[in-house]
């Protein structure tokens, strides 16, 4: 592999114009496809095979007008009179009437009054509503009304629309003293994270790169190539909407991971190129050596990330599969950019690569002429007390992992939103007036097509409702609809339909364990009530769907871990020609990911230090985090330990090889990890709680894995293992392909170039 990549790098340097033109053509073709054929991204949450999805399919058979629960763009408006007053008072009735009159005039609203039957004064609606569904509290102080935006999905909502509605609510409050809050799917404008987040990461990356290279030109190259790769990747995702449905959240992961690894991979090869210029005055040869050695490490580092992201498809959740594959494609582009576009740009700039210097770099050297930097000092410090260093890391990360025992996974709801948002205030008012279960109802779909007699069908529907109402933790179970045809003159049902919907309101909130127990109890009892009534039933609704998704995620986690760790372990054995090095790398990853999850639970779920309000951890956090962290952790493992392996292959002892690896790679790994931490930390500033928690978890994982595990634990363990670290059974050595990641087969110029005489390197 090293020879092949050497030829690729040196050719790209010499024939830079061909490679630049090829990348330009590719980018233009992708952009043209995206502009000409792309379709809007969707937010379908179809999860084939889960019970709630089957029930929803049954619901759509019986009630064709019912849509996907996640496409619902409805808004629940909660109005509350001050303490000691009621909504029946004339002043508040007038304010509600004004609100009802103004809402239809908002942007993205239907002109048809019949489109929003829930937009009714709660005092009036309460007179005809069943007690379990009344829109008015017992004391008449709090009421609800509802409407839906005229959009296909919440993804089509515009921020300006919600701003106008928020202004209307505030005006109603100011004019009449009536509290008006709102929640529901129609109060969420779905925006991809970005903008300021990426700018913060890029700004920090530029500072780190300036400190690393001491040159504005060199510092800008990794950023420009990473932005090119991310732009091509996300544009490619947009172009793919012409051929398949892609969720609006899909580009999020591609942007986060693409920007981070794009900078890292280019940085690693560029740093090796600079190092090779100390050994030869042939820049094309130096570019070839850099791509042949550091590029080999980049290929295998990229492969581990590709494995981790692509393996998200084993979860069998379409939106996660799409996110993983899109991010994997962006990582692949980042690898190709580092291997071909970077050397082409080096060929274009030639001696200008390290110009525009901001400082001079004149490292100290030992008596043998070897660089004596902080990486060497750190490695030697660890070598004095490797046992103490390893134990300290294990104990510290183990302590951080302790909060995992209390981790509670759920999907975010309005009731877990920050307390200063209108969604949370509306939820609190609804819980106060009607109980916490009003916002998380379960929907039982009853199929009575197997019962010929209409009277018996009605009896069966009532029996199912009675059965549901007898379950523990049920506040009410009400037959809310049948699919009987409606008389156009009277508006009343004609006969008994073949299907019914029963709304079950739990006594507990949607994210409470009691509600999940209720769902399981109903599922367990379905066969009994079906046999008794001759019907087919299913339980669906947002609460049921999100619960089933969580179960699917939890069930897939062991398989996902086995696939990712198994494939990556084999890959690392090929790279390092060792069993123990991949094993220690994997165990170190487990330590860092457990510590990350523990810290995330402490900060976000338990509200430690008062930084964030406590709320459940989003259900897909563990599997998402494991995939991301494993890929990135192996990046640093490959970057650092391949230099150790290279030194060992060239004759150094394990102890000397560890020091040499830190001499050549520690600075680059620290720079790369700092950049990635900055990129992910920027997402903590996003408003969305899920994105915020993911940004924190990813940033924390980089700190734990790169700076603690890879820079402390792994070298300490290698010191303790000594020559045994590179042990590999002979039979396995014969089976594994020799990919020559270390570049042992490459010829090098043995004549160093004087730093003082080479103007390209002065100040680098």
One domain, residues 353 and 221 = yes
Q: For residue range 37-81, list pLDDT tens digits in order.
A: 887 766 555 677 889 989 988 999 999 887 666 677 899 999 999
- Establish how many alpha carbons lie within 13 A of residue 549's alpha carbon, considering only the half-sphere containing its beta carbon: 24
Average pLDDT over residues 376-403: 94
One domain, residues 15 and 56 = no
**pLDDT grade, residue 369 (50/70/90)?**
low
- DSSP string for residues in 409-457: EE---GGGS-TTSHHHHHHHHHHHHH-GGGGS-EEEEEE-TT---HHHH
**pLDDT grade, residue 764 (50/70/90)?**
very low
d(CA 730, CA 725): 15
One domain, residues 278 and 166 = no
Assigned domain for 419 exists:
no
More confident residue, 703 or 71: 703
Per-residue confidence (pLDDT) for residue 659, from 0 to 100: 92
Per-residue confidence (pLDDT) for residue 628, from 0 to 100: 78
- Is-contact 474 468, C-beta < 8 A? yes
If phi over 0 gives left and psi between -120 and 50 gives alpha, with beta otherwise, what is residue 195? left
d(CA 187, CA 106): 14
The single residue listed with the structure tokens 């209390």 is: 406
One domain, residues 600 and 554 = yes
Task: Provide the CATH number for the domain around residue 472.
Answer: 3.30.70.1320
187, 215, 235 - which closes a domain? 187
One domain, residues 481 and 374 = no
More confident residue, 241 or 535: 535
**Alpha-carbon distance values, 518 to 447, 458, 471 (Å):** 21, 25, 7
**Alpha-carbon distance values, 368 to 21, 380, 647 (Å):** 45, 17, 16
User: Which regions of 126-229 does DSSP assign to beta strands (E)?
Assistant: 142-148, 179-183
Give the CA dihedral 343, 344, 349, 353, nearest 10 degrees: -20
Per-residue confidence (pLDDT) for residue 519, from 0 to 100: 94
The single residue listed with the structure tokens 């009714």 is: 120
Mean pLDDT rounded to a whole number for the chain: 86
d(CA 106, CA 609): 42
Bridge partners of 617, per DSSP, are 409
169, 187, 205 - which closes a domain? 187
Bridge partners of 499, per DSSP, are 447
- What total of structural domains would you count in the chain? 3
Cβ atoms within 10 A of the Cβ of 84, count? 7
One domain, residues 35 and 69 = no
Per-residue confidence (pLDDT) for residue 757, from 0 to 100: 39
CB burial string 141-171: b at 16+ within 10 A, e below = bbbbbbbbbbbebbbbbeeebbeebeebbee
Lowest-pLDDT choice from 147-156, 532-541, 678-687? 678-687
Q: Sign of the C-alpha dihedral, residues 504, 509, 512, 514?
A: negative
Per-residue confidence (pLDDT) for residue 332, from 0 to 100: 94
One domain, residues 480 and 601 = no
More confident residue, 602 or 621: 602
Per-residue confidence (pLDDT) for residue 743, from 0 to 100: 63
Q: For residue range 577-591, list pLDDT tens digits in order.
A: 899 999 998 899 889
| Terminal Cα distance for the chain, rounded | 29
Assigned domain for 239 exists:
yes
Assigned domain for 692 exists:
yes
CB burial string 7-16: b at 16+ within 10 A, e below = ebbbbbbbeb
One domain, residues 265 and 382 = yes
More confident residue, 494 or 452: 452
More confident residue, 417 or 76: 76
One domain, residues 384 and 530 = no
Assigned domain for 421 exists:
no
One domain, residues 465 and 595 = no
Radius of gyration for the alpha carbons in the chain, expressed in angstroms and rounded:
31
Closest residue by Cα to residue 639 from 304, 380, 404, 246:
304
| Highest-pLDDT range among 581-590, 621-630, 645-654 | 581-590
Per-residue confidence (pLDDT) for residue 133, from 0 to 100: 87
685 has a pLDDT exceeding 90? no
The single residue listed with the structure tokens 């409470």 is: 512
Structural domain including 357 reads 2-40+192-406+547-735
Assigned domain for 259 exists:
yes
Per-residue confidence (pLDDT) for residue 510, from 0 to 100: 83
Per-residue confidence (pLDDT) for residue 198, from 0 to 100: 65
392 has a pLDDT exceeding 80? yes
**pLDDT grade, residue 751 (50/70/90)?**
very low
pTM of the model: 0.82
Assigned domain for 423 exists:
no
**pLDDT grade, residue 393 (50/70/90)?**
very high
Average pLDDT over residues 154-160: 84
Average pLDDT over residues 591-597: 93
Per-residue confidence (pLDDT) for residue 73, from 0 to 100: 85
One domain, residues 313 and 336 = yes
187, 210, 225 - which closes a domain? 187
Q: For residue range 471-509, list pLDDT tens digits in order.
A: 999 999 999 989 888 777 666 777 788 999 999 999 998
Per-residue confidence (pLDDT) for residue 316, from 0 to 100: 79
d(CA 340, CA 163): 47
* Token digits of residue 521: 């109890």
One domain, residues 569 and 659 = yes
d(CA 249, CA 234): 11
**pLDDT grade, residue 238 (50/70/90)?**
confident
Average pLDDT over residues 534-556: 88
Assigned domain for 45 exists:
no
Lowest-pLDDT choice from 5-19, 437-451, 632-646? 632-646
Assigned domain for 202 exists:
yes
- Is-contact 304 638, C-beta < 8 A? yes
Cβ atoms within 10 A of the Cβ of 130, count? 11
**pLDDT grade, residue 742 (50/70/90)?**
low
Sheet containing 142-148: give its strands across.
142-148, 74-80, 179-183
203 has a pLDDT exceeding 80? yes
Average pLDDT over residues 696-705: 91
Burial zone of 551 (CB within 10 Å; 0-12 exposed, 13-18 middle, 19+ buried): middle
Q: For residue range 3-44, list pLDDT tens digits in order.
A: 889 999 999 999 999 999 999 999 999 999 988 888 776 655
Per-residue confidence (pLDDT) for residue 747, from 0 to 100: 55
* pLDDT above 90 as % of the chain: 42
């Amino acid at each position: 592999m090293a020879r092949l990549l050497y030829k690729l790098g040196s050719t790209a340097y010499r024939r830079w114009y061909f490679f630049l033109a090829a990348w330009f053509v590719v980018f233009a073709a992708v952009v043209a496809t995206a502009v000409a054929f792309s379709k809007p991204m969707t937010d379908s949450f179809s999860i084939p095979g889960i019970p709630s999805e089957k029930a929803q399919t049954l619901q759509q058979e019986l009630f064709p007008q019912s849509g996907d629960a996640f496409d619902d763009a409805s808004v629940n408006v909660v109005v509350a009179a001050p303490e000691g007053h009621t909504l029946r008072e004339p002043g508040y009735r007038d304010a509600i009437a004004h609100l009802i009159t103004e809402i239809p005039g908002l942007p993205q609203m239907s002109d048809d009054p019949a489109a929003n039957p829930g937009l009714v004064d709660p005092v009036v609606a309460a007179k005809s509503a069943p007690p379990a569904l009344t829109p008015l509290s017992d004391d008449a102080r709090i009421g609800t009304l509802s409407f839906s935006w005229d959009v296909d999905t919440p993804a089509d909502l515009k921020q300006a629309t919600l701003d106008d509605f928020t202004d209307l609510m505030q005006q109603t409050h100011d004019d009449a003293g009536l509290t008006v809050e709102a929640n529901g799917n129609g109060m969420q404008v779905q925006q991809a994270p970005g903008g300021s987040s990426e700018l913060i990461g890029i700004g920090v990356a530029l500072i780190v790169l300036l400190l690393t290279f001491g040159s504005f030109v060199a510092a800008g190259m990794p950023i420009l190539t990473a932005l090119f790769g991310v732009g091509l990747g996300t544009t490619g995702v947009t172009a793919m909407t012409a051929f398949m449905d892609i969720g609006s959240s899909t580009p999020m992961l591609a942007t986060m991971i693409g920007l981070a690894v794009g900078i890292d991979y280019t940085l690693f090869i560029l740093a090796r190129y600079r190092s090779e210029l100390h050994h030869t005055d042939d820049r094309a040869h130096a570019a070839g050596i850099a791509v042949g050695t550091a590029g080999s490490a980049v290929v295998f580092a990229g492969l581990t990330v590709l494995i981790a992201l692509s393996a998200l498809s084993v979860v069998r959740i379409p939106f996660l599969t799409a996110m993983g594959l899109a991010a994997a494609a962006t990582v692949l582009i980042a690898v190709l950019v580092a291997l071909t576009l970077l050397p082409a740009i080096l060929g274009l700039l030639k001696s200008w690569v390290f110009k525009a210097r901001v400082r001079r770099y004149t490292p100290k050297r030992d008596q043998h002429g070897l660089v004596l930097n902080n990486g060497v000092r750190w490695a030697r410090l660890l070598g004095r007390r490797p046992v103490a260093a390893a134990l300290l890391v294990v104990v510290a990360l183990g302590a951080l992992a302790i909060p995992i025992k209390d981790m509670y996974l759920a999907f975010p709801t309005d009731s877990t939103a920050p307390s200063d948002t209108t969604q949370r205030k509306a939820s609190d008012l609804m819980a106060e007036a009607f109980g916490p279960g009003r916002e998380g109802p379960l929907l039982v779909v009853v199929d009575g097509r197997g019962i010929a007699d209409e009277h018996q069908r009605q009896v069966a529907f009532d029996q199912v409702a009675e059965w549901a109402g007898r379950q523990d933790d049920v506040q009410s179970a009400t037959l809310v609809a049948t699919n009987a045809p409606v008389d156009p003159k009277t508006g009343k049902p004609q006969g008994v339909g073949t299907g019914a919907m029963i709304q079950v309101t739990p006594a507990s909130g949607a994210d409470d364990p009691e509600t999940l127990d209720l769902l399981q109890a109903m599922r367990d009892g379905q066969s009994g009530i079906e046999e008794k009534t001759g019907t087919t039933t299913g339980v669906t609704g947002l609460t049921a769907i999100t619960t089933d998704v969580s179960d699917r995620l939890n069930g897939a986690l062991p398989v996902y871990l086995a696939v990712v760790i198994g494939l990556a372990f084999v890959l690392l054995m090929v790279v390092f020609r060792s069993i123990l090095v991949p094993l220690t790398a994997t165990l170190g990853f487990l330590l860092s990911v457990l510590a990350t999850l523990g810290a995330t639970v402490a900060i976000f779920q338990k509200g430690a230090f008062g930084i964030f309000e406590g709320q459940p951890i989003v259900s897909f956090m563990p599997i998402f985090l494991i995939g991301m962290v494993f890929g990135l952790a192996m990046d640093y493992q490959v970057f650092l330990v391949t230099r150790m392996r290279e030194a060992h292959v060239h004759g150094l002892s394990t102890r000397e090889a560890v020091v040499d690896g830190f001499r050549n790679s520690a600075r680059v790994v620290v720079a790369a990890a700092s950049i990635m931490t900055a990129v992910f930390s920027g997402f903590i500033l996003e408003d969305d709680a899920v994105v915020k928690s993911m940004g924190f978890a990813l940033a924390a994982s980089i700190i734990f894995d790169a700076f603690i595990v890879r820079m402390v634990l792994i070298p300490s363990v290698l010191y303790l293992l000594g020559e045994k670290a590179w042990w590999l059974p002979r039979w396995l050595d014969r089976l594994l392909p020799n990919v020559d990641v270390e570049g042992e087969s490459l010829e090098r110029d043995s004549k160093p170039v004087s730093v003082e005489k080479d103007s390209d390197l002065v100040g680098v």
